[in-house]
Structure 1
Amino acid sequence: MTTLHITVGNHEQLRQDALQFVRDVDADDLDSQDGTATLQFGTYDDFVDSLTPLRLELIRAIAAETPESMREAARLVDRDVSDVHSDLKQLDVLGILTLEEGGPSGAIQPIVPFDRIEVHIDYPLLDRGDADTAASA
Structure 2
Amino acid sequence: MTTLHIAVGDREQLREDTLQFVQAAESDGFDDEDGKVTLQFGSYDDLVESLTPLRLELIQAIAEHTPESMREAARLVDRDVSDVHSDLKQLEVLGILELEEGGPGGAMQPIVPFDRIEMHIDYPLVGGVDDGGTPASV
Q: Which has the larger radius of gyration?
A: 1
Cα gap change, 1:30 to 1:104, in 2 (>3 Å): farther
Count of residue pairs the alignment pairs up: 130
**Structure 2: segments with no counterpart, 5+ residues:** 132-138
**Structure 1: segments with no counterpart, 5+ residues:** 132-137
3-state DSSP of counterpart to 1:35: coil
Aligned partners of 1:13 and 1:123: how far apart in 2?
Answer: 14
Give the 4+ runs in structure 1 shifted more than 6 A: none
Q: Spell out the pairing of 1:1-137 with structure 2 (5 A cutoff).
A: 1-11=1-11, 13-30=13-30, 32-128=32-128
Q: TM-score, normalised to structure 2's length?
A: 0.85
What's the CA shift for 1:14? 1.7
- Give the CA RMSD over aligned residues: 1.9
Aligned partners of 1:113 and 1:24: how far apart in 2?
Answer: 24
Match of 1:96, as an amino acid?
I
3-state DSSP of counterpart to 1:84: helix
Aligned partners of 1:19 and 1:33: how far apart in 2?
Answer: 20
Q: TM-score, normalised to structure 1's length?
A: 0.86
Identity %: 75
